[in-house]
Amino acid sequence: MTSGLSSATPNRQTVRIQRNLQELTDNPLPFAYSLNLTTGEDNINQMTGILIGPDNTPYASGHFRFLIRYPPEYPFKPPEFYFTTPICHPNIDSKTGTACNDQLNATWAPSITLGKILFEMRALLEKPNYQVPVEGDNLEEKSEEKARSLTKEFAQPSNL
């Protein structure tokens, strides 16, 4: 896990994110790796990494790239989580990859760590909420068969 931040004196937000990243370096999650913190062109902190899909799901053994964008108000406002690997899921926008985790957003608190965010995103893959699909997506196109197919096509370690 590395940090590509160039700022000589990191702000409080950056320090907080780096501390969360160090916690995951010291106690890695078995389903997340290649975590990298950078500052985007718009001076927004962002993290990239890879999340491994849970067993016994259409995402099993898939290695899904993701991007987390931290808003200026973080940690008082939740970060945005995007899957950058194509994925078929009722709670992930097909066009943008935006993950919609209502539970995480509804219960957001500044004390929620990066580890908790990654656990929640993996849980989203494990238990899709078909009752609350992403607005505007066609739920009929979000089948488990299509999810397996996209996982095999785009989310294999050989594609990374």
Here the contacts of 9-14 (C-beta below 8 Å, separation 24 or greater) are 13/45, 13/70, 13/72, 13/74, 13/75, 14/45
The CA distance from 43 to 64, in Å, is 25
Do residues 60 and 80 touch, judged by C-beta distance below 8 A? Answer: no
Do residues 33 and 50 touch, judged by C-beta distance below 8 A? Answer: yes
The candidate with the shortest Cα–Cα distance to 58, out of 123, 124, 126, 134, is 126
* 152 three-state secondary structure: helix
Q: Which residues are catalytic?
A: 100
The CA distance from 45 to 38, in Å, is 6
